Amino acid sequence: MALTITGTNTLQLLSIINRTQAKQTNLLTQLTTGSRINTGKDDPAGLIALESFNAELTAVNAAIDSNQRTNAQLATAEGGFTEISSLLTQIESLVAASTNAGAISGAEIAANQAQIDTAIQSVDRIIRTTQFNGKRLLDGSLSINTTGVDSTKIDNLRVYSRSQSTTAATITATITASAQAASAAFAVGGSLTNVNTSGTTSLSITGTLGNATVSLASGLTSAGIITAINEATGQTGVTAAVDSNGIELNTTGAGTDEFISIDVLSGGVLKAQGAGTTSSVIETTNSLGVDAAVTVNGQTVNVDGLDVSFTSNGVSFAYSLDADYGFGRVANRSNTDTFSIAASGGATFQIGTDQNTRQTLGINGLYSHALGGGDSGGFLSDIVGGGAADLNTDVGTALKVIKKAITDVATERGRLGAFQKFTVETSINSLETTKTNLTAVKSLIGDTDFAQATAELNQQSVLLSSGISLLGLANQQAAQILSLLG
């Protein structure tokens, strides 16, 4: 090879050293940042995938935070429900004790009424003050809006959820059969329009509210028999009245939950006045009422007495048929009612990562004037002192009202609890799993493999040292050529 002064070897070595140094710098950056892709040139395809996964992970993290906040809000509502349920249970106990008027004094009933009034005030206070992030949860401010509801047909409409449609949902409800009370004839045989008891009769009458023993003195007329049975209505939920065949017993409410049972403990013989005809009290076992039959938008729905429940296509609601509409059936009144569920109101929650995973719940007002209704005969506010169904005025209705109020709160509480358990918490669990998998694939694509990078760094360090040493030898060769001139 000819000896020249052109430093070809030096230039080649410098190029190699620069490339080695660049690789070393890139490896140092990866080891310092922990990321394999720090610029677009590091891995263009990998960068595109990484940014896509980053966007997904950001959405998942936001959805998890949103669901956790929703969970906390619903837990706050649950705390209010717990206290209200406890108060209502205590009220029920006080009302039930007061139905036994023959065994407790007027002073005790007055004391029970005072406790009931205080408890109802506490119910309303809890509803008014249960808040989350400045929003009241139980006062009806988060209820779903409705329009066109005829209050002469429908009581206490509660919308639990609505679809995400931007238009109102039209609801057409039709009664196809009226609700019926449980009914039983009191006696059989002879003419019973005007009778006397023949000897003392003792009866055990059981109805929806409970049981009472009714004693009928000898010679008691039909009117006296009816009075004696009706005096125990507060304990039994059973009333007596004269009909075309004599005396008939009916429950105060309607539906298959209503029943009448009559057991003759002693006596039981009746004698028609002015004639020798005798008859006997009928022993009856669980004579049941009949639920109303209702269709909503052509779909047969669940009805419990006068209480209607409907769920379809994201819309869920319940209401009570007015007694005159679904049970008494005022003459010439249409059996169809139409109303609308507006595309507004309620509490809308983001469940997943896109707009199609939003759900709107209605959290209905639970003030004492809204609890009860239907065939219970009144609302919780009616059983306070001086109300239409207080302990001194109508203790039987008071007992039905408090039972219905407990059911109303339990239904609302169960709806929110189901949403919390089966929607919010399952969404959190699913999103956490998604987050774990996205983080894993991000790490696979973008994270530095420290073992591999360290090994490559050591290799590049050796190469850089070797290149620098060889560059020194190349420089010595140029110096030796110049020495020939001397």
Strand order in the sheet with 201-206: 211-216, 201-206, 259-266, 284-288
Q: What single-letter DSSP state applies at residue 50?
A: H
CA proximity to 196, closest of 169, 224, 177, 175: 224
Q: What is the pLDDT of residue 163?
A: 87
Q: Which domain holds residue 257?
A: 181-288
Q: Residue 218 domain-assigned?
A: yes
Q: What's this model's pTM, rounded to 2 decimal places?
A: 0.78
CA distances to 240, 310, 443, 462 from 448, in Å: 87, 56, 8, 21
Q: Is residue 224 part of a domain?
A: yes
In this prediction, residue 193 carries a pLDDT of: 58
**pLDDT given for residue 210 in this prediction:** 86
Q: Give the pLDDT score at 375.
A: 75
In a domain, 234, yes or no: yes
> Residue 445's closest CA among 9, 4, 35, 17?
35
155-192 b/e (C-beta count within 10 Å ≥ 16 → b): bbbbbbbbeeeeebbebebebeebbbbbbbbbbeebeb
- Please check whether residue 248 lies inside any domain of the structure: yes
pLDDT at 477: 67
249: in domain: yes
* Any domain includes 245: yes
| Sequence letter at residue 311 | T
pLDDT of residue 435: 92
CA 464, 470, 475: angle at the middle one, nearest 5?
Answer: 125
What phi, psi does 294 have (nearest 5°)? -135, 140
Q: Running along the chain, 486 residues long, what does each successive block of 10 average in pLDDT? A: 59 77 76 76 82 89 94 95 96 90 84 95 95 92 93 88 89 91 77 72 90 89 89 88 81 89 89 68 86 92 91 90 76 78 92 88 92 84 93 89 93 93 94 92 78 78 76 69 65
CATH number of the domain encompassing residue 194? 2.60.40
Q: Domain for residue 216, yes or no?
A: yes
CA distances (Å), origin 103, targets 65, 106, 108: 58, 10, 10
Total domain count, the chain: 1
Q: What pLDDT shows up at residue 145?
A: 94
Please state at what angle helix 106-129 crosses helix 44-98, rounded to 10 degrees: 160
284 in a structural domain = yes
Give the pLDDT score at 390. 92
